[in-house]
Amino acid sequence: MLRNIHGFSQEEIAEKIGISRQAYAKWENGATVPDIEKCMHLAEVYGVSIDSLVKTTTLDGKEVLPPPQTGKNIYGSVTINERGQLVIPKEVRDKFGLTGGQKLIVLTDDKEGIALIPSEMFEKKMHQAMEYAALKPEK
């Protein structure tokens, strides 16, 4: 999946990580698996973590999702209830230290969707942007 997303041929990937095209083809069809060193090289080529390279994430247990780029994560889906509420997965709440009653800023992009940012982080970034803007001389 990653090879196709990045537009590489089996030969190109094999060359990048120092193996034969046939060896790479065996990995793709499941006949063999790469050793940890080759996984590290594959992860670097594709810009993903080794963990996301070897773990499979599914969307609602149906479709296999491609591994996200390093530093980005996919935690599955949430369902909005009748009152417009959603539950943020515990793993995400723990990772970002989110607690009950904490304020989140809702950001949107008409084409891309919705993002939730802790208000403290958003306010800090806005303050930094305002300081930066104040330092720039007017044209």
Domain-located, residue 80 = no
Same domain, 56 and 95: no
Give the domain extent around 14.
2-65
Residue 4 is encoded by which pair of tokens? 């196709």
Smallest CA-to-CA distance from 57 within 75, 71, 69 is with: 75
Using a cut of 0.75, tell me whether the model's pTM lies above it. Answer: no
In the chain, the number of structural domains is 2
How far apart are alpha carbons 26 and 32 in whole angstroms?
Answer: 6
Supply the pLDDT for residue 96.
Answer: 85
Supply the pLDDT for residue 19.
Answer: 94
Contact status, residue 76 vs residue 57, Cβ threshold 8 Å: yes
How far apart are alpha carbons 58 and 63 in whole angstroms?
Answer: 5
The CATH number for 6's domain is 1.10.260.40
Task: Kindly list the averaged pLDDT for each block of 10 residues, start to end, along the chain of length 139.
Answer: 88 93 91 92 88 71 67 73 88 87 89 86 88 72
Supply the pLDDT for residue 61.
Answer: 64
Phi, psi of 116 (to 5 degrees): -115, 125
Residue 91 is encoded by which pair of tokens? 């793993």
Domain-located, residue 111 = yes
How far apart are alpha carbons 103 and 5 in whole angstroms?
Answer: 36
How far apart are alpha carbons 116 and 97 in whole angstroms?
Answer: 13
**Residue listed under structure tokens 């993002």:** 115
Domain-located, residue 71 = no
